[in-house]
Amino acid sequence: MIASHGDAATLPYQAAAIQFEPTLFAKDTNLDALLRLTEEAAAAGAKLIVTPEMATTAYCWATRKEVAADVEPIPGPTTERFAEIAARHACWIVVGLPEVALETGVFYNSAVLIGPDGPAGLYRKTHAYISEPKWAKDGDLGLPVFDTPLGRIAMTICMDACYPETARIPALAGADVICFPTNWLSEKSPSPSWMARAAENGVYLIAANRYGLERGVQFSGGSAIIDPDGDLQAVLDDGDGIVWGWVDPARARDKRPLTARAEDLMADRRPDAYGAMTLNTYLWNPDEFHGLYGIRPLPEPRRSRVGVVQVSPRAGQVEENLDRIAHETGIVAAQGCELIVFPELAVTGLIADRETAEVLAETIPGPSAQRLHRIAATANVHVIAGLIERDADSGRLFNSALLMGPDGLIGIYRKLHLAGEDRAWATPGDRGLPTFDTPLGRVGILIGYDALFPEAARSLAIDGADIVACPSLLSWPPVLPYGETAVPMPPFVDAGATEAHFHLWRERERENNVHVLFANGAAPAMGWSGCFAAVLESEPRREALVPGDADGTATIEIETRGVVRAKDLVRMRMPIWYDAMQAPAEAAARVAYEYGARPGAWLAPVREALTSSVN
């Protein structure tokens, strides 16, 4: 049964993330220090305490032989010592450690949830970083959620946060909080990826990171407690210590990103359009896969310049808006741009009532589409601009975006996830999440609220999108700044204070290996439009932003080869565990909780093996 507002476990409680630097080949010393910090947190009132990934042993193991002396079963000697603290203080503790399965001798990078009665939940890291395959098997327990007196608790580990699926599945199963032991690196932390996982699911995320240098690897610290809106409740930049915060289960169960709004991050999902979630499309060479049978090969790779325009379309002023589109297209095209994206409903402006929408709606082709074609042809560019579309057969109205090229209309996308303003007049999109081939590459389109659903951008990437364009009129989630870090970062990382540390649309680029073009409205929308070029994690960011909410443009050069075609992160997904994401809404929670999680299934063989070894 999914936890609800009526359940007893709704009272806020204190939580703590422990930041700690363990040392290789010093398990006993590590354990003593970690136990002291855990005892300190529990004695001060923390009811949920999270330790870093591999906190008892350190991380950079090179072989199974090296780590073999430090792995142990769960339950085992280490869990017994933490269980004493949990029993003494009536608290719950998440411990990251290397596990051995007694029955098979297989090693895992694991996290165990320990309550007053001992181990109550086990998670094995699902998405391996480059080091795990040297000694550990990929996790085989799914993405479980565990019922506790504090509410529903899930665990993920480090690299898992690069994959939206690992937080979405527990959220569908009713998780209030995701405990996140990590050894994060190559980025100033708290990582925007952690913030995105909290914000897009409306859950708390307790990130316990390590810091320090180990075998040439610099870890980034920045342990944090992150609120369900992605905001940072508390942070520790560097050094050993405890990050304090609060978890309010009732807040996590309210999935409205903004109070008094109609939107709901779980109820507004469109699983009928997420049929690609379990497809492993990038196991094969992308050119061969997408070109199979000669049906739909990827466009030839090339370089091009692309751009976004940040303006505030005037409601109901179609001719004025089209004149503005023509003017801005001419300016940006003169900079060498071949694709220009305008904000959501750039032709009609934001409309909040059915009567006005009916007056402004047009079938395609229609006068506005014809004008957009003339604009694109005159400037010899591709333009993405939105309007209120009337379906010629049914008469239904859609919030649509047109991809127009110099030679005419290439494609129409109908907004799939409707925001509150849309619901007075618009029908949810009925054409799924299509991609369109252009000379610049394969293009997918998301409109505004669509991009808050990670399944949407992921579906486009799985279909081979090189570019995801996001015409928007959004004011949430906000772009958030963050100060400098004392942790010495690699040269490609900006360690100083940054205005746009968290930008959700950058995360869509990172997790999907696609170029993202976010064209948001100027005030009264929040602005912060930007072009985010797909890069490797070991490269500096390549992006162009329009800071703030004033009018402006941003352009960038992109390539449709390399990382955007290889899609390494998409290739390393573990879709065997993702069934719940495309299950019908009425079944998603059950599938996520029962099928994907199998909570408690790990205990039987462990207990049997322990009993056999004693006998």
Query: Catalytic positions, please?
Result: 53, 125, 158
Cis amide prior to 477 (ω within 30 degrees): yes
Enumerate residues 6+ apart whose C-beta is below 8 A from 216: none
Alpha carbons 116 and 560: distance in angstroms, whole number: 54
Q: How does DSSP classify residue 315?
A: T
Alpha carbons 510 and 501: distance in angstroms, whole number: 14
Secondary element (H or E) of residue 145:
strand 145-148
Record the tokens describing residue 195, joined without a space: 């913030």
Amino acid at 236: L
* Ordered alpha helix ranges (H), 416-567: 454-462, 504-512, 563-566
Do residues 385 and 325 make contact, with C-beta atoms less than 8 angstroms apart? Answer: yes
**Partner residues linked to 323 by β-bridges:** none
Sheet of strand 92-100: strand arrangement: 118-124, 107-115, 92-100, 48-50, 13-19, 241-247
Residue 435: alpha-carbon gap to chain centroid: 21
Comparing CA positions, the residue from 397, 386, 323 lying closest to residue 363 is: 397
Do residues 450 and 456 make contact, with C-beta atoms less than 8 angstroms apart? Answer: yes
The number of CA neighbours under 13 Å toward the Cβ of 220 is 23
Do residues 28 and 34 make contact, with C-beta atoms less than 8 angstroms apart? Answer: no
- Please state at what angle helix 504-512 crosses helix 454-462, rounded to 10 degrees: 30
Burial (0-12, 13-18, 19+ Cβ within 10 Å), 292: exposed
The number of residues making up the chain comes to: 615
Alpha carbons 613 and 75: distance in angstroms, whole number: 14
Record the tokens describing residue 542, joined without a space: 């390549």
Record the tokens describing residue 532, joined without a space: 């985010």
Alpha carbons 111 and 122: distance in angstroms, whole number: 6
- Please state at what angle helix 192-201 crosses helix 504-512, rounded to 10 degrees: 100
The per-residue DSSP string of 521-554 comes to --TTS----EEEE---TTS--EEEE--TTSSEEE
Comparing CA positions, the residue from 172, 220, 183, 168 lying closest to residue 573 is: 168
| Torsion angles phi and psi, residue 69, rounded to 5 | -70, -15
Alpha carbons 398 and 482: distance in angstroms, whole number: 38
- Indicate the SS3 state at residue 93: strand
Do residues 252 and 203 make contact, with C-beta atoms less than 8 angstroms apart? Answer: yes
| Torsion angles phi and psi, residue 27, rounded to 5 | -60, -45
Secondary element (H or E) of residue 155:
strand 151-155
Enumerate residues 6+ apart whose C-beta is below 8 A from 483: 497
Record the tokens describing residue 457, joined without a space: 């951008």
Do residues 354 and 400 make contact, with C-beta atoms less than 8 angstroms apart? Answer: no
